[in-house]
Amino acid sequence: MRYRALLGIISATIATSTHAVTDQERTILERLHSELAIISSIVKQAEQSVNQNDRQQVDYMQLKADLERIQEGVGDILSNQRREPRSLPSISGEYR
């Protein structure tokens, strides 16, 4: 549930950054980009600590794919790789 809320906040941040990026916004997006890398590292650590006997398992593959997709989108904004509007795959948000 916490991951879904986190991804919702990140998605909202990306959605609001479709206009010209100001210096302040760029600084914040750079921070977000680096923090997503940290979160991805934490997810990998959690994945290595999985107890296979637990009744409920986290779908780390989907979680990592969603985080990568978000980080790539933020990276595109930072590198000024603006693209024409396109249909993007949705973020799952389901990790159980």
Instruction: Write the single-letter amino acid at 2.
Output: R
Single pTM value for the model:
0.66
pLDDT attached to residue 21: 75
Quote the CA–CA distance of 82 and 59 in Å, as a whole number: 31
Tens place of pLDDT per residue across the chain (96 aa)? 566 666 666 666 555 545 567 889 999 999 999 999 999 999 999 999 988 888 888 899 999 999 999 998 888 888 886 666 666 677 777 777
pLDDT attached to residue 68: 92
Q: For residue 26, how many other CB atoms are within 10 A of its CB?
A: 13
Write down the domain spans for the chain: 23-50+58-79
Residue 40's closest CA among 61, 54, 11? 61
Which residue's structure tokens are 């909202």?
12
